[in-house]
Structure 1
């Protein structure tokens, strides 16, 4: 988070709790190979020889490492459980992919979690949620530090788009917001967590705890869209998830990284248009990422009035991966930007932090000078506008 301190920046898609967790993890994001990465993990294990006094389900007994990308490692694969075991011995360890959607657990961690065997876990947020975490006050303080850094980089607003957010998570973020109230937080709610909101609805404020308010002032977050995170192997449930949100009167924000998921999303949103009985212009549904899109899909996004929140840095930071894994034709559909702007689609930039730093200068550079699909570049003035609050 090292952008020049220019007021008015908006990071419209990040994960504050994950940013806080990354700060207290072993950072392996610069490792070029599996041996290099495991050397960092092994060094951390040696540096934390005391497993703590709370047993193998105490937070201080565990080692959390974060930041590898299998597609960018020399081996082009995830580390195996055996390799992780050799580096960590009997310390329960979770090694997180840079996206946060994949993790490798060692045998000790699998045993503590009640698994029959350790494995590479894909989209198993239900299981990873059982990994011990620091206490609430420690987490609140860590999120507060993230917000202070955002403010120092010129951000005045952010949107937490975590699909596992429930009302307790929103209250925690509200407590943390008191540490840096100049950064306004909007927080999405997970589609399967709507029942935790009670009678709180879209656009309302959730406040923090009375104890935190007494200590450092009242914090709050605005309740945002319902986050729809389709299972990685079943786009067909998108329509069901949209229906759940519609029943509660919420707009949706759908995670769409590929053409098939985007198609299912557009079908669902067209079949179930939002109902807006209140006067004034409603806040539109959102597509998060829009990493691959056909021209006809972009036309449809424009016709349906859907907004797109995208991450320009991905196309430069992952250029090697895209060049290796996508055909020349697919590369032309990659992370559209100029095509969105030309169609009059509402676009905002974001980081997806901690996956990519919250650095508007990097976003602008990527958006104006990308080498993959260069026809999707935009000019500097447009790029800066898409970083700022509308």
Structure 2
């Protein structure tokens, strides 16, 4: 990895709680097939070192029957990269985990598979793959708060060692409680400046806490950095881009710019329509979470990922003044998936970089950790050496600059 410059790198899209959780999970990223994945999970289920998630919140079914069994959390598979090109099934998990409640998380964090024991505890009646069911997964037993804070602090310490001096947690389920937890962890690693987004559907719970303000950790000493309140994160409900406009409108009502999760052309179109229908408030009416913008200027809305975009959509992004925070590692790590699932024309529109910069759009590179490591050296290598859509390559110096907070133009 390249040596970080004095001002340090930024990772402006990652998920700190998920990073901490991944570290205490059984890692299945190395599995190349469903069979290999099941071997890893089965070994963990039989092991006395099963990562426990029993402490903290428990599903009602667990509390009612006083069940003391440990839960197994596994993480890191990608169905598109397994030999069978599919998700494992609940029945396959049952065969290797038996009565150990098991949750198997996709590398993206947006999909999970549970075995029958876990499904019963969560109130499920089928072995369906859980897509965007964060409401259910939130009831899985968790480690206690002190362990979670310590885990996040370890993640931040490793980022600091890698030359990252600022980061933005882009988790759409963040609420006031999550911000307080992150603030406590951030106070333990003051060398990393932490900003945390808040779910656009959870802004009411912030009370008087405004965009751009600092939230100290509970009981922190005077002068503790805590965490800065970032954008309102808009995660379109699964297969329902129509909800984006309402979430953007809710963010505007609270004085927040938005950061919208965009992975395809249709979602990008709905996002641009929503931003145009609900424009940001005039500059000076809110504080910025980015001091480099200068006092009195509102931070721009953000598109998170921008995985696939038509040229005319990028023109519109530029006209609306929306920034893009993207992850070049995806185009190299998932090249096989894209070649199999996308046409040659679509491949040319993948994860644009040079096209964004030519239009003067503000761009920042990031990781989406734990999906991709928080390693700016990898982002730079991917941005400069990608094989898919090579016309979107950028030079190393530009890529390095985009790892330090972004910029517009070449």
Instruction: Provide the TM-score with structure 2 as the length reference.
Output: 0.91
Residue number in structure 2 paired with 1:324: 340
* Contact 2:195–2:229 (8 Å) recurs in 1: yes
Per-residue deviation, 1:231: 1.2
User: How far off its partner does 1:134 sit?
Assistant: 0.4
Asked if 2 retains the 8 angstrom alpha-carbon contact of 1:176 and 1:219, the reply is no
2:398 pairs with 1:382: yes
- Is the 8 Å Cα contact of residues 384 and 399 (structure 2) preserved in structure 1? yes
Q: Deviations over 1:327-381 (max 9, x none)?
A: 0000000000000011100000000000000111110010001000000000111
Report the CA distance between 1:113 and its aligned residue: 1.2
User: Are 2:282 and 1:273 aligned?
Assistant: no
- Partners of 1:370 and 1:193 lie apart in 2 by 38
Structural mapping, 1:83-122, within 5 Å: 83-122=92-131
2:309 to 293, 297, 302: 293
The match for 1:21 is 21
Contact 1:59/1:132, CA 8 A, preserved across alignment: no
Q: Which of 260, 267, 281 pairs up with 2:266?
A: 260
Aligned residues: 386
**Map of 2:137 onto structure 1:** 128
Find the aligned partners of 1:108 and 1:292 in 2 and give their Cα distance.
38
Moved over 3 A (4+): 2-7, 49-60, 216-219
Residue 253 (structure 2) aligns with:
247
- On the 8 A contact 2:283/2:297 being kept in 1, the answer is no
Structure 2 match to 1:153? 162
Give the Cα separation in 2 of the matches to 1:105 and 1:4: 41
Distance 2:12 2:130 in 1: 28
Q: Could you tell me how far 1:53 is from its partner in structure 2?
A: 8.7
Q: Aligned with 1:192: secondary structure?
A: coil
TM-fit CA distance, 1:119? 2.2
2:34 aligned partner: 34
Question: What is aligned with 2:10?
Answer: 10
CA displacement 1:11-70 (0-9 Å, x = unmatched): 010000000000000000110001101111111111137889989567971000000000
What is the DSSP-based 3-state SS (H/G/I as helix, E as strand, rest coil) of the residue aligned with 1:280?
coil
| RMSD value, Cα | 1.9
Q: Which residue of 1 aligns with 2:355?
A: 339
Shift of residue 157, structure 1, vs aligned partner: 0.1
> Is 1:3–1:154's contact at 8 Å kept on the other side of the alignment?
no
The 5-angstrom pairing of residues 69-88 of structure 1 reads: 69-88=78-97
Q: Secondary structure, in 3 states, of the residue corresponding to 2:188?
A: coil
Q: In 1, distance between residues paired with 2:399 and 2:299?
A: 22
Q: Distance in 1 between matches of 2:68 and 2:396?
A: 45
Contact 2:53 2:141 in 1 (8 A): no
Deviation at 1:217, TM superposition (A): 8.6
SS of structure 2 residue aligned to 1:189: strand
Name the structure 1 match of 2:381.
Answer: 365
